[in-house]
Amino acid sequence: MAKMIGGAFTAVAVELPPDAPTQCKPGTADILETWESQRKTPGKRGVIFYYPLNKRGETNRNLQTTYSYDLSFDDGIACFEKEGKRYRFRIESSAEAR
């Protein structure tokens, strides 16, 4: 079980692992949520990135990691990292501001 601890934010994908199971590419902008593991790996974080939004604010794709990453923030960049695998997103604003 996990709980959402941050978001929804408008964000841009900055870096994704080459083997990431997604069609999302760096430069894609849309909605990011940060989640935290409550049982399996307490305190570890994960991400759900919804893309692309259509004019009605709907999406049919998402990038979701496991909730087993360390999270750090530096200069507006959220970095989810574990064992050399890294997902980085530039936070633009709160999604409610959209």
CA distance 8 to 49: 9
The pLDDT tens digits for 62-74 are 888 989 999 999 9
% of the chain residues with pLDDT over 70: 88
Tell me, what DSSP letter sits at residue 96?
Answer: G
Cα 4 to the center of its chain, rounded Å? 11
Helix (H, G, I), strand (E, B) or coil at 95: helix
pTM comes to: 0.83
Looking at residue 53, what is its pLDDT? 64
The pLDDT tens digits for 53-64 are 666 666 668 888
